[in-house]
Amino acid sequence: MVQSVELVYNQALSLAGSKGQVTSASETSREAELCTVWYETVRDNVMKAAPWASLRQDARLVEAAERNWGADWVSGDPAPQFTWAFTLPANMLAPRFIHSGARFEIAPRSGILELMSNDETPILRYTANDVAVADWDQGLFTTIVTMLAYQISFELTKKVSLTDRLLQRAYASVLMQRAQEANEQQIQYRAIPEILTARGYDGFTSQLAYYYPYENLLGVAL
């Protein structure tokens, strides 16, 4: 079965307890309109909430500015604690880590968001903003369906218990994907103090590496 926006809508409607279905995401039915209200918000937040395999990309970043440490910091320099600023990939939705393990920050410089780091030649692992449903892996597709169902279920059924179950199912899927990424990258979460993990630090084998903090799923802490 080819994955499509209509399939996302219909599976979400089914999970949410709706008897209605859609034939087009742009139709004027109550079901389609309710899904459309939440779809883009749910999609983008689920994509940012975990490092989904089908959205994983790497890019060597292009330098945008270098700090002159022989002079006082001025507006237009990289953030004060960093030497370099780099242009972000045009299709980046969320950063994950620099392959060297170096700390970095996403911040505006002269009104444009850039990556600041002390790594002179960073290669960034990031989540790409790919909205083509057919490109998504099954875990991402299922989680977006489930989270969309969560957002529309109470409006359709008024059943709090169903809404809670859907939210917990979506959370479980996101946490599973995060754990899979941690295993692949050999991130040793327990080896690092909680105060550091909250700031994005994790242990890659025997060294301290920086992993960009995850965003919450629709503003609800995981």
Q: Does residue 1 surpass a pLDDT of 90?
A: no
Residue 109, φ and ψ in degrees, nearest 5: -135, 120
Quick: pLDDT tens for 90-145: 999 999 999 999 999 999 999 999 999 999 999 999 999 999 999 999 999 999 99
d(CA 28, CA 31): 8
Quick: pLDDT tens for 146-158: 999 999 998 888 8
Measured between its terminal Cα atoms, the distance across the chain in Å is 31
**pTM of the predicted model as reported, rounded to 2 decimal places:** 0.84
d(CA 215, CA 222): 9
The pLDDT-based confidence of 200 (bands split at 50, 70, 90) is low
Closest to 116 measured CA to CA, from 104, 98, 108, 124: 104
Q: Does residue 190 surpass a pLDDT of 70?
A: no
